[in-house]
Amino acid sequence: MLVDEINASGGVKGQKVELVLKDTAGSPERAVSFAKQLIEEDKVLAIIGPSTSGETMKIKDLCEENKMLLVSCAAAETIVNPVAKYVFKVPQKDSQAVLWIYRTMKDKGIAKIAILSSTDGFGAAGKKQLEDLAKSEGIEILVDEVYDKQATDLTDILTKVKSKAGVQAVVNWSIVPAQSMVAKNMKQLGLNVPLFQSHGFGNPKYVQQAGAAAEGTLFPAGRLLVVDELPDNHPQKQVLAAYKKDYESRYKEDVSTFGGHAYDSLMIVAEALKQAGSPDREKVRDALETLKGFVGTAGVFSFSATDHTGLDLSAFEMLTVKDGKFTSYKK
């Protein structure tokens, strides 16, 4: 969709953009194989994606060694830490999401929690951040369990949570279907403490899945999901509203933050290309690294030599579910 738009409006500095698509279906060895193809055969200017942290990590060293620009749509901290000259990422940092969660908890007077995460890369990354940041934020983790992402039912793990006295809130870090399952199982077991989800909850369909159990769920997310609530003078409003309109009319489904990441990565590369003036990888890389104040769907990006994520805490907002809809969480 975006490539068509860019090309329709004259391309970037007069040149058309060509998209080479490869679907790894989440398989790491295919990621490696395709990355090598893109680097050595197609000799692309930049690689956008992959969307999982596991695959990104497999090709991070590869891209760095081959001086290939990589703009990943995956969230793991390890992608940009240690910083590799040619590797960037566009989703917000997991640590930022966790900080939002922990600070909201402190506001609510919550100090003892249970952490649940799934066995995939996303869950593992979240778990690590939750554990690392707990002490400094004054949060005590009473239960820390990992479950298989294809689990058919999670009441046994939630029973374990319920058995520990003093748990004041539950944080769940996973994607569907487990996200909805945790919410439902908690209510079914009568575990009536606040449920915090990761920023992976950012799709209205997930609210539908969990139905009544999703009410009151708290999670950090980019403002794409509540764009209608933003005041008109908010820096992101225009970009978000335009993206939402285009996406929903073309694909006939609700926007989600994941599509937003793809949008951001492409637009950032395009912008860097514009500023660099020519499709020279070194110049584009330098332009990207010095990009400041770029408005994307996830937030406002400002990169630097030490920061290849470009987003800070203000990229997030705490959202909640009310009457089956996303809305900003007001204290």
Partner 1 sequence: MNRFRQILPFTLFPVVVVGAQLVMRATETEYCLTQLTMAVYYAIVVMGLCLLMGYAGQVSLGHGAFFAIGGYASAVLTTYDFSRFKGAPWAGWLQKAHLLIARQDLYGNTAMTFSPWAAFLTAMLATFFIALLIGYPALRLRGHYLAMATLGFGLIVSKMLLGSNITGAADGINGVPAWKLLPGLAVTGKSAGRVQNYYIACGLALLVLVLLRNLVHSRVGRALQAIHDRETAANAMGINTAACKLKVFVLSALLAAMAGVFFTHYTGGIAPSEAGALKSVRYVALAAAGGMANLWGVTVMSVALNYLSLRGWFGTYDNAVFGAILILIISLAPEGPLKPLGLWLRRLTGTRPPSPTSHDPNHVSRFTFHASPAAELAPQTDERATGRSPQHGAP
Partner 2 sequence: MENGSLALQYLLSGITKGSIYAVVAIGFNLIYSATGIINFAQGEFVMLGGMVAVTLAHYVPLPVAIAGAVGVVALVGCLLELALFRRLQRHSVLHLIIITMGLSIVIQEAALHIWDEKVRSLPYFTGSEVSSVRFLGAAISPQVLWVLGTVALVVLALHVFLRYTLQGRAMRACSSNPEAAMLAGINIPNMRTLSFGLSAGLGALAGCVISPITMTHYEMGAPLAIKGFAAAILGGLGNPMAAVAGGLLVGILEAASVSRLPAVYNDVAAFAILLFVLFVRPQGLFGSPTSDTVREH
Q: Return residues touching partner 2 (CB under 8 A).
A: 119, 145-148, 150, 152-153, 155-160, 162-163, 176-177, 180-181, 183-185, 187-190, 205, 209-213
Instruction: Report the first-to-last Cα separation within the chain, whole angstroms.
Output: 38
Ordered DSSP codes for 245-294: HHHHHHH-S---HHHHHHHHHHHHHHHHHHHH-S--HHHHHHHHHT--SE
For the bound state, the minimum distance from the C-beta of residue 272 to partner 2, rounded and expressed in Å, comes to 32
Query: Which partner in partner 1, partner 2, none is near 88 (CB below 5 to 8 A by kind)?
Result: none
Residue (32 or 189) nearer to partner 1, CB: 32
Nearest to 33 by CA among 24, 25, 46, 44: 24
Cα separation, 112 vs 258, whole angstroms: 31
C-alpha torsion sign, points 209, 100, 325, 233: negative
Query: Which partner in partner 2, partner 1, none is near 54 (CB below 5 to 8 A by kind)?
Result: partner 1
Query: Which partner in partner 1, partner 2, none is near 76 (CB below 5 to 8 A by kind)?
Result: partner 1
Residue (8 or 165) nearer to partner 2, CB: 165
For the bound state, the minimum distance from the C-beta of residue 209 to partner 2, rounded and expressed in Å, comes to 6
Show the tokens assigned to 136: 């400094």
Show the tokens assigned to 24: 């790894």
Query: Which partner in partner 1, partner 2, none is near 30 (CB below 5 to 8 A by kind)?
Result: partner 1
Residues forming contacts to partner 1 in the complex (CB under 8 A) are 22-23, 25, 27-30, 32-34, 36-37, 40-41, 53-54, 57-58, 60-62, 64-66, 76, 82, 84, 119-121, 123-124, 146, 148
Residue 42's beta-bridge partner residues?
none
* 147: three-class secondary structure by DSSP: strand
Query: Which partner in partner 1, partner 2, none is near 176 (CB below 5 to 8 A by kind)?
Result: partner 2
**14 HSE (CA, 13 A, CB side):** 2
Residue (123 or 260) nearer to partner 1, CB: 123
* CB 218 within 8 Å of CB 196: yes
* CB 258 within 8 Å of CB 298: no
Query: Which partner in partner 2, partner 1, none is near 44 (CB below 5 to 8 A by kind)?
Result: none
Query: Which partner in partner 1, partner 2, none is near 45 (CB below 5 to 8 A by kind)?
Result: none
For the bound state, the minimum distance from the C-beta of residue 146 to partner 1, rounded and expressed in Å, comes to 6
For the bound state, the minimum distance from the C-beta of residue 205 to partner 2, rounded and expressed in Å, comes to 7
Residue (132 or 148) nearer to partner 2, CB: 148
* CB 71 within 8 Å of CB 268: yes
Residue (54 or 310) nearer to partner 1, CB: 54
Cα 102 to its chain centre, rounded Å, is 18
